[in-house]
Amino acid sequence: MEKSNVQERLDRVRAELAIFYEIGNAMRSTLNLEEILFIILTGVTSHAGLGFNRAVLFLVNEQENTLEGKMGLGPHSGEEAGLIWTRISSQQMSLEDLIAAYTFYKKGGSDLDKAVRSIKVPLHEDAGVLAMTVLEGMGMEVTTDEARQKTANDPVLQSLRTELFVTVPLKAKDKVVGVILADNLFTKKPILKDDIRTLTMFANHAGLAIENSRLYEQTVYEANTDTLTRLWNHGYFQFLLTEELKKAYESKAPLSMVMFDIDNFKNYNDAMGHQMGDQILREVARVLKTVCDGKGFVARYGGEEFAVILPNQDKDPAYAIAENLRMAIENFEFKGQEVQPNKNLTISAGLSTYPEDAPDKEKLIYLADMALYEAKRTGKNKVCAYRSK
């Protein structure tokens, strides 16, 4: 009997090592955070991995001192669970196959995933199980009905319909970067000590992968961001416009772009000095980004010139957005704006639209620039849209 137990233990260890090796290889194949999270949760939930029914992952937002739902993987109902597991079994899908399914997953996500992404938990002691896992840096095991009574009022657990579960912190070096919650809501399979041990070991590797991905994405962000205004820089604007035009071509959708220029900016700089001029550029950028939030991409094109990419916007709605942006700047109280010729700091704008005006990126930029020149020539503080004669 003893020999049998030793063999079972050896088999489990071999299986764990194989899982960790396969998931580790997958995590090393990308630095994209969303892909890393998907690989991690696939490892926790797949039959070829740790085999939990569902897993959800939250990450710490240090600026807001909150825990934010980032991804949930698993079925939302018993019926859905049966369909998924039947398909996986019939197609004999390996862990590699399941990880490769990310391209399909990101198109829609699941009801569980949508629910998780809407959750934000404050990081203080009375905020529930997930917050305590982060604050204490220790996992929580709620694997009996008796233990469940103590967490019955946790609003996050209620929203996820979680009953018996385990949480583990995601650690990177000396800090907790997030937490995983896993359960067996549909199979009701007991969560054993070995399951918890394996999940904890796995979480230690996952935390480092997440932190590496975050550092990489921060580096990429810094490289593509204008240091003064914190908008996208000229190089990344060109990349974004190319990508968005590809999407517009494939979906047969319109795309508009707007070029903005601060009126009489040299006059302001000469009167107030370059430090105040830099402050104006930062404030203009902040106003444009706030007003344009969710509508498009704002970039610093160069000097006192800004560009806005508006996907899926035809000329008339794009003109309305550009006019809103112009008015937001006109109505903003900029320090020292009384030195300007009209006692107010304003912007002019030029607008062009794909495919109505231009078939490609270069001509789209050129025509928006020509429309901006027209706005400057005919009085400033206005929006001019390119119109073919």
Question: pLDDT (tens digit, 0 to 9) for every residue of the chain, 389 residues total?
Answer: 466 666 666 665 566 666 666 666 666 667 788 888 888 888 888 765 678 999 999 999 999 999 999 999 887 665 555 555 555 555 555 556 655 655 555 555 678 888 899 999 999 988 899 999 999 999 999 888 888 888 888 999 999 989 899 999 999 888 999 999 999 988 899 998 888 888 888 888 888 888 888 888 888 889 999 999 999 999 999 999 999 999 999 999 999 999 999 999 999 999 999 999 999 999 999 999 999 888 899 999 999 999 999 999 999 999 999 999 999 999 999 999 999 998 999 999 999 999 999 999 999 999 999 999 999 999 999 999 998 75
pLDDT at 18: 63
Two structure tokens written together for 254: 């319109």
Question: Phi-psi region for residue 335, left (φ > 0), alpha (ψ -120 to 50) or beta?
Answer: beta
pLDDT at 15: 62
Task: Give the domain 234-385 fold.
Answer: Alpha-Beta Plaits (3.30.70)
User: Is 169:130 a contact under the CB 8 Å cutoff?
Assistant: no
pLDDT at 101: 59
pLDDT at 16: 60
Name the percent of the chain in helix, strand, coil, to the closest 5.
50, 20, 30
Domain boundaries, the chain: 2-222, 234-385
The Cα–Cα gap between 343 and 333 comes to 11
In terms of C-beta density within 10 A (0-12 exposed, 13-18 middle, 19 or more buried), how is residue 69 classed? buried
The Cα–Cα gap between 348 and 364 comes to 18
Give whole-number Cα distances, 60 to 35, 192, 214, 322, in Å. 18, 28, 12, 36
List residues with catalytic annotation: 304
Domain 2-222 has CATH 3.40.190.10: no
Residue among 146, 206, 178, 192 at smallest CA distance from 52: 192
Give whole-number Cα distances, 203 to 44, 128, 168, 218, in Å. 9, 20, 7, 22
pLDDT at 146: 84
